[in-house]
Amino acid sequence: MAENLIIAKGDKAEKYALLYKQIVALVEGENDAIANMANIAAMIHQTFGFWWTGFYRVIGKELVLGPFQGPLACSRIAYGRGVCGTAWKEQTTQIVPDVELFPGHIACSSLSRSEIVVPVWDKQEIVAVLDIDSEHLATFDTTDQKWLEQIVVLLYK
């Protein structure tokens, strides 16, 4: 895997397409999920300049903070709480265009305005979530969902 991330010029889909290829190359050479989470968070964060990009891991009845890029964040989130806990409970990606309108949203940072949370599966079980926060409203759409869901599949193959 090249040491340097290459960021495509062009729209979001073009950026994700190149990012995805580089993540495939990364995980081919490394099978430790935490190491891969760390580099995947860094690569997504650097490509798009989001406010916060990281993983929470399922440990018992809670989500526990994992590798991330961005400011300090909450360490633990209970099942069903916030956007992250909801993605875990509902077993589906959550796209939140305005976090203030999401009941029970956990404000780790008052600067976060919109969010996407994608469950990470290991076989039939959710073992983590990928959480991305933006300082802008309505940053995330089905293009993000499609690519991020494909990216997290690479973690536990």
Q: Which residues bind ligand SME (CB under 6 A)?
A: 52, 73-74, 77, 82-84, 105-106, 108, 112, 115, 131, 133
- DSSP classification of residue 122: E
Query: In this chain, which residue has its C-beta nearest to ligand SME?
Result: 82
Q: 70: burial class by Cβ within 10 Å (0-12, 13-18, 19+)?
A: middle
Min CB(11)–ligand SME separation in Å: 26
The partner residues of 68 in beta bridges, in order of sequence, read: 54
Position 111, amino acid: L
Query: Is the CB of 33 or the CB of 83 nearer to ligand SME?
Result: 83
Closest CA to 154 of 5, 6, 39, 3: 39
CB 90 → ligand SME: shortest distance, Å? 12
Tokens of 4: 């340097």
Closest approach of ligand SME to the CB of residue 152, in Å: 16
Cβ proximity to ligand SME, 38 vs 106, nearer residue: 106
> Least distance from C-beta 106 to ligand SME, angstroms?
4
Nearer to ligand SME, 27 or 130 (CB): 130
Long-range contacts of 120-123 (CB under 8 A, 24+ apart): 120/55, 120/152, 120/155, 120/156, 121/152, 121/153, 121/156, 122/155, 122/156, 123/156
In the bound state with ligand SME, the residue whose beta carbon lies nearer, of 16 and 50, is 50
